[in-house]
Amino acid sequence: MPSPELGRRWRAARDGLAVVHLDAAAAGATSQAVVDAQATHLAAEATLGSYGAQEGAAERLAAARSALAGLLDPTLTGADVAFHHCATSGFTALLDAWPLPPGGRVGIVPSDFSSNLLALRARALRDGLELVDLPVLPDGRIDVDRLRQGDGPAALDRLDLVTFPEIPSQRGLVQPTAAVAALCRDAEVPMLLDVAQSLGQVDVAAAGATGGVSAYVGTSRKWLCGPRGVGFLAVRPDFVDRLGVPAPTGYTARWEPDPVAPGGGRLVAFGGVGRFDVGEAPVAARVGLAVALAEHVEAGPERVRARVQALGGAARRRLDAVAGWRLGEDLDSPSGIVTLRPPSGVDPAAVRGRLQREENVLATAIDETRARDAVPALRVSPHVYSTLADLDRFAEALERVTTRPAP
Ligand SMILES: *Cc1c(COP(=O)(O)O)cnc(C)c1O
């Protein structure tokens, strides 16, 4: 495994973990420093008052937004990043504000996160939009050659928006995001990229560097190992003024009186991503994310990525064919998400529950509701702190639980 020393440090920073944690794609294990920073902030709220504590955290929160900008896209700064409740709320806020003509066409993929797809369907119903699948290969990756050839209903020059998750939740595949972003840039089609499952485990900024990604949504708790209840969105500064105001409130917009205008005035969005601000928020959780980001940057994002990829590959080699479970993706997929399809008659949700209760092992069960292309599977997602020994323990636990009758 690459960077064994980094792995040891991240494990030591989590020495309270009482489970075999192979579930970063659901929620990465947080370090003690992330927990302590939150507790310290809550204590400061109690002693200094909540707003005083927030002022004291301002620099750290600004540093967190800058760190996110740096990980996403070389043209972004911290001023282009807004905290949000989660990736889903960031996605719906952006989509509500996104300029789309009546009858407009949105390019999506079969692996879209079901929640995002619901928001897209609702907007499509409201505004008569058409959702069209981009061409994909049999494994679910976008077919860049067919997209470049540009014929058929998903021809880029007929689209008004392209959106997809760089890494879907339900399968270990990584989209060729940089290539797609470059095509979108050339075709002048805005792209909204969901990095909830990719930021922290692949090089998102490679796509950002093409200049073809207009906006991003992501979350704290997965591969960034931050707290729950925080997400973020980011918009390129040369695009943000094309967006409307998703939820006009005192946090996001102001009223400009104009006696001759219909209604006596007009709504003016706050500048930049300020129009997406969530005024009231768990500031302690944002402070925790700031610490998690600092740890990620300090570890070296490249080293984190290399170790996660290697662990994903090791997990696939170790787990394929254990008790009849089979890999749901290529052995060499460069993702830390590993999926296992069950032997016939075995229910992944039941196995997941038993792994947790009987074996103290954390993983996730995937079912068909997660995405249009989802199939029942167990999802295993090791992170920097994971070891080959964890994978062995998982394999042995999976063997026992699959072959032994439920108690
Ligand atoms: C988890 C996930 C989301 C949603 O993130 P939340 O922070 O839970 O809203 C969106 N897209 C993908 C691909 C995800 O895996």
The domains located in the chain, with CATH, are 4-22+300-403 (3.90.1150.10), 33-297 (3.40.640.10)
92 C-alpha to center of ligand 1: Å? 12
| Pick from 74, 362, 370, 94: nearest CA to 215 | 94
Ligand 1 centroid distance, CA of 275 (Å): 22
Binned average pLDDT, 10 residues per bin, the chain of 407 residues = 97 97 98 98 98 98 98 98 98 97 96 98 97 96 94 86 98 97 97 98 98 98 98 98 91 95 93 93 97 98 98 98 97 97 97 98 97 97 98 98 90
User: In angstroms, what is the span from residue 238 Cα to ligand 1's centroid?
Assistant: 26
Residue 89 CA, closest ligand 1 atom number: 9
Spatial separation of the C-alpha atoms in residues 372 and 147, rounded to whole Å: 21
Long-range Cβ contacts of 117-121 (<8 Å, 24+ apart):
117/371, 117/372, 119/88, 119/91, 119/92, 119/95, 120/95, 120/163
pTM comes to: 0.97
Instruction: Give the pLDDT confidence score for residue 331 in this predicted structure.
Output: 95
Taken as a whole, the chain contains a residue count of: 407
Q: What is the pLDDT, as a whole number, of residue 405?
A: 85
Residue 126 is predicted with a pLDDT of: 95
> Residue 388: what pLDDT?
98
Smallest Cα–Cα separation from 83: which of 299, 292, 287, 300? 287
Burial of 235 (0-12, 13-18, 19+ CB in 10 A): buried
260 CA → ligand 1 middle, Å: 45
Phi, psi of 25 (to 5 degrees): -70, -20
DSSP 212: -
Q: Please give the distance of CA 93 from its chain centroid, rounded to a whole number.
A: 15
279 CA to middle of ligand 1, Å? 22
Ligand 1: which residues within 6 Å by Cβ? 86-88, 113, 165, 168-169, 194, 196-197, 219, 231
Q: Which atom of ligand 1 is nearest to the CA of 165?
A: 13
Residue to mutate, 23, 88, 202, 364, ligand 1, most ligand atoms under 8 Å from C-beta: 88
Ligand 1, atom nearest to 86 Cα = 7
Determine phi and psi for 64, rounding to 5 degrees. -65, -40
Is the distance from CB of 218 to CB of 226 less than 8 angstroms?
A: no
Q: Which atom of ligand 1 is nearest to the CA of 88?
A: 9
Q: Which residue has the tokens 């200094």?
A: 48
Which residue has the least CA distance to atom 15 on ligand 1?
169
What is the rounded CA–CA span in Å between residue 127 and residue 104? 8
Using the mean position of ligand 1's atoms as its centre, give its distance from the Cα of residue 291 in Å: 21
The CA-CA-CA angle for residues 296, 393, 322, to 5°, reads 110
Strand partners, 133: 108
* Lookup: tokens for 58: 């301002």
SS3 call for 341 = strand
Query: Which residues does residue 266 pair with via DSSP β-bridges, in sequence order?
Result: 256
| DSSP per residue, 150-193 | T-STT-GGG-SEEEEESS-SSSS----HHHHHHHHHHHT--EEE
Q: How far is the CA of 228 from the centre of ligand 1 (A)?
A: 12
Q: Which residues pair with 365 in a beta bridge?
A: 378
Q: 148-155: long-range contacts (C-beta < 8 A, 24 or more apart)?
A: 148/183, 150/187, 153/105, 154/107
For residue 390, what are the β-bridge partners?
A: none
CA distances from 72 to 65, 196, 352 (A): 11, 12, 33
Q: Which atom of ligand 1 is nearest to the CA of 90?
A: 9
The pLDDT, as a whole number, for residue 275 is 95
**C-alpha distances in Å from residue 29, one per residue of 221, 338, 382:** 8, 17, 10
Query: Is residue 99 within 8 Å of 241, Cβ to Cβ?
Result: no
Torsion angle in degrees (nearest 10) through CA of 283, 288, 289, 292: 170
How many angstroms is it from 224 CA to the middle of ligand 1? 13
According to DSSP, the residues that pair with 217 across neighbouring strands are 194, 233
Name residue, tokens 């990829």. Answer: 309
